[in-house]
Amino acid sequence: METEAASMNAILEMRGISKSFGPVKALSDVTFSVKPGEIHAICGENGAGKSTLMKVLSGVYPAGTYEGQIIYEGVERRFRAIGDSEALGIIIIHQELALIPLLSAAENIFLAHPPGRFGVIDRDSVWQRAKAVMRKVGLDDSPDTLITNMGVGKRQLVEIAKALSKNVKLLILDEPTASLNERDSAALLDLLLEFKAQGLSSILISHKLNEISRVADRITILRDGRSVETIDCHAEPASEDHIIRAMVDRDLEHRYPEHTPKIGDLLMEVSDWTVHHPIHTDRTVIHGVDFHVRAGEIVGIAGLMGAGRTEFAMSLFGRSYGRRISGEVQIKGRRVDVSTVQRAIKAGLAYVTEDRKELGLHLADDLRHNITLANLGGISHLRVLDGIRELRVANDYRRRMNIRCSGVDQESGNLSGGNQQKVVLSKWLFTSPDVLFLDEPTRGIDVGAKYEIYCIIQELADSGHGVVVISSEMPELLGLCDRICVMNEGRFVGEFTREEASQERIMQAIMRDVRSVPDEIPAMPQGSERAAETVGP
């Protein structure tokens, strides 16, 4: 627990914070502090109260809606709105990005405080200042680039640049690297360390324990809405096992469940698959690739951001991405039509998007409707929806997937990230796919929920499905997959069995294949990705 000595000379103290939503107690007597120039990490399972605590601090949940005290720069503060905390230099970057897709990066960065004189925006200044702050976070794109033409990772960097453009004294980052590959994550962590050297205080919320151990000065662990321990990383080593044990109140002997694969016959084969960019149709994104999956096999696709992994999966799933697509898909030895989402589902394909909050779920709708949405025919009789059958199906998946909720009528947006992911998986499993593509299936999910997702993936493979896992976390691919294919610049450049694969060999395959090309593959337009979830039933 936080001690009085640990909170001395703190820029921030939160004392005895409690917050309830009706009968549910989200926070209970949470206390912690942040020192000047410190990186203070907050860990906990999904639903432990991390984001709620930060929303209390930033004024999203205003004074009067919670119990306890916020002491900032030695003065008790009662923030009525997020503008009050921002005026004092407390800037929060939420896990859900708050960008306007059809505005440029520069316009988004300075939307609330554009530079100008006499009420007239100085667009040259906007461009120059945006360029400078984008360079700080490693973005080389033009400030005029529309957000809709940026991938998820780059949008996260724009959000961070937006925060840095303000007069920040205490920077709060809620899962800032969840959408980033290893290289960009490392660059962001280096940036935090640079800010620390300049005296800036940061609060880092992350499920990536290796990142936390690398940069954090202290780590506060929340469990079930309570602060259970604060670790001083300079006084004692913060091992991942120690953190996990405090988070989940149990030991995880193995991060990945033991599994003996039962690989059968060839299930899906993709031949000479070529995809062109949906806007710049003269540019090839996927270059005549061949790919296959066997029954009972878990196949990983590794690669850096922009390698074409998501574009490949989405183009297969009803041509949800790309133009001028050519090639052949066979499932169980039979050529199939995957030219629309409905036909792809009928052929036996399913695709779980990397962005569950925006594209995978209707957050304002309940679990029951979300689970059955992609297969309404499965709960219908003579084209009339059967509410009793729908309820039975939803409750069946709730039990099978161990979805923690008050009931299938609960709003999906009120679930933790891990439980939301289980709902998305349930939706696509209800379509009875032969091959399931999982795009970043554990992004933004804590270690306990990850383990459950891994078990579900292995059960799917054991039941004869083919599973394709796209992940930016190499340890995840190495710990989970039977075979790993490496993608770079729209081509498969390497393939390794579980025994052959290592992080070094995967990176060597990528580096060996670096080619001299005039431009990088353009980012996938947001609208194209959305089609994967909205065109279907």
CATH code where residue 225 lies: 3.40.50.300
Domain limits at 240?
A: 1-89+168-251
Angstrom distance (rounded) from CA 273 to CA 319: 12
Q: Which residues of 485-508 are buried (b: 16+ CB within 10 A; e: fewer)?
A: bbbbbbbbbbebebeebeeeebbe
Both structure tokens of 127: 């461009």
Q: Which of 166, 198, 216 is the last residue of a domain?
A: 166
User: Do 410 and 273 reside in the same domain of the chain?
Assistant: no
Q: Which of 387, 417, 432 is the last residue of a domain?
A: 432
Residue 215: φ, ψ to 5°: -115, -20
CB 492 within 8 A of CB 290: yes
User: Do 446 and 511 reside in the same domain of the chain?
Assistant: yes
pLDDT per residue as tens, the chain (537 positions): 444 444 458 999 999 999 988 777 889 999 999 999 999 999 887 678 888 899 999 999 999 999 999 999 999 999 999 999 999 999 988 766 778 899 999 999 988 778 877 778 888 889 999 999 898 877 889 999 999 998 767 887 888 888 888 878 999 988 887 766 677 778 788 888 988 998 999 999 987 888 888 899 999 999 888 999 999 998 877 787 788 778 776 555 567 888 899 999 999 999 999 999 998 888 899 999 999 999 999 999 998 777 899 999 999 999 999 999 999 999 999 999 999 999 999 999 999 998 887 788 888 899 999 999 999 999 998 889 899 999 999 999 999 888 888 889 898 888 877 788 899 999 999 999 999 999 998 877 767 778 888 999 999 999 999 999 999 888 889 999 999 999 988 999 999 999 999 888 888 887 765 443 333 334 444 333 333 333 333
User: Do 19 and 139 reside in the same domain of the chain?
Assistant: no
User: Do 263 and 372 reside in the same domain of the chain?
Assistant: no
Q: Which of 251, 268, 298 is the last residue of a domain?
A: 251
What are the E-state strand segments in 354-455? 380-381, 384-385, 435-439
DSSP strand pairing (12-21 vs 24-34): antiparallel
Listed residue (9, 119, 133) closest to 74, CA to CA? 9
**86: number of CA atoms within 13 Å, CB side?**
14
User: Do 362 and 468 reside in the same domain of the chain?
Assistant: no
Residue 368: φ, ψ to 5°: -55, -50
CB 480 within 8 A of CB 300: yes
pTM (two decimals)? 0.62
User: Do 527 and 439 reside in the same domain of the chain?
Assistant: yes
DSSP strand pairing (298-302 vs 466-470): parallel
User: Do 537 and 422 reside in the same domain of the chain?
Assistant: no
User: Do 470 and 511 reside in the same domain of the chain?
Assistant: yes
User: Do 512 and 442 reside in the same domain of the chain?
Assistant: yes
User: Do 459 and 332 reside in the same domain of the chain?
Assistant: yes
User: Do 124 and 183 reside in the same domain of the chain?
Assistant: no
| Number of domains composing the chain | 4
User: Do 310 and 214 reside in the same domain of the chain?
Assistant: no
